Amino acid sequence: MPFYAGQQGKLFIDGSTTPAAKVVSWSFTSTANVLDTTTLSDTDRTLIYGVRSMSGSCRLYYYNYAEGAAVKNDCASLLNKIIKTGSTAGDGENAASDPVTLRLYVDDGTSTGKFLDLPALLTNVSMSMSVGEVLAADVSFEVNGAPLSSSNLTNS
C-alpha cells in the first residue's frame, strides 16, 4: 500500500491500546530554528541549527460509546486534560492541567504500524455547537521535548 489516507489514520491517547473514537483528523508540524552565523566578510548567509520544536492539532467528535459496562468519550478525556474545575466562583487555586501522550498512527498494514509518540501539553481546545453540525473539539498541542524513542514514523 504505497499511499495512505484518512482511512489509515488513528490517534491513541496516553498509551491506550485502543484508538480514540471518532477522530476526524490529526496533524503535526516540526520546526527547527536556525541561528545566523553570517560574519562581516561573508557574501552569503550562513546558518547553524538551533532549537527544534513540534506542535500539532487534532479534531475529535464529542462521542459517547460503551466499553463493557463503562461509557467512554475520548474527546472528553482530552478536554479533561486542560479544563479543571473549581469548587466555588472565584476559586483561583485548582488542579493543574495534565500532560498527555499522543500517538499519531498510520496503519501501514504491518503489525506495528507507523507512528509518532508525542509527549504533549494541550494548549488550546475549541468547541462550538451549531445547528446542522456535529459537536467536535479542535485540540492544539505543543510537544514537550522530542518525540519518544518508540516512534518509528521516520524509519524507512
Partner 1 sequence: MSAIAFPAVKPTSRSYSPGNFPQTAFKAQNGAQTIVRFGNRRVDSTLQLSFSNISDSQAALILQHYEQVNGDWNYATFGVDNALAGNGFEINIYMGETASGLRWRYSSPPSVESVYPGVSSVSCAFVGVLDGN
Nearer to partner 1, 37 or 94 (CB): 37
Write down the least CB distance from residue 123 to partner 1, Å.
24
Whole-number Å distance between alpha carbons of 12 and 102: 6
Q: Is 123 in the site for partner 1 (CB under 8 A)?
A: no
The label of the residue with cell 486534560 reads 81
Nearer to partner 1, 50 or 86 (CB): 50
Q: Is 134 in the site for partner 1 (CB under 8 A)?
A: no
Whole-number Å distance between alpha carbons of 80 and 120: 14
Q: How far is CA 136 from CA 38, 63, 69, in A?
A: 48, 8, 24
Per-residue contact flags (x/-) with partner 1 for residues 37 to 66, judged by CB under 8 A:
xxxxxx-----x-xx---------------
Residues near 122 by Cβ (< 8 Å), separated by ≥ 6?
78, 81, 82, 97, 100, 139, 140, 141
- Span of 18-26, 31-39, 63-71, 141-149 interacting with partner 1 by CB under 8 A: 31-39
Query: 3-class SS at 48?
Result: strand
Nearer to partner 1, 38 or 150 (CB): 38
Residues forming the site for partner 1 (CB under 8 A):
35-42, 48, 50-51
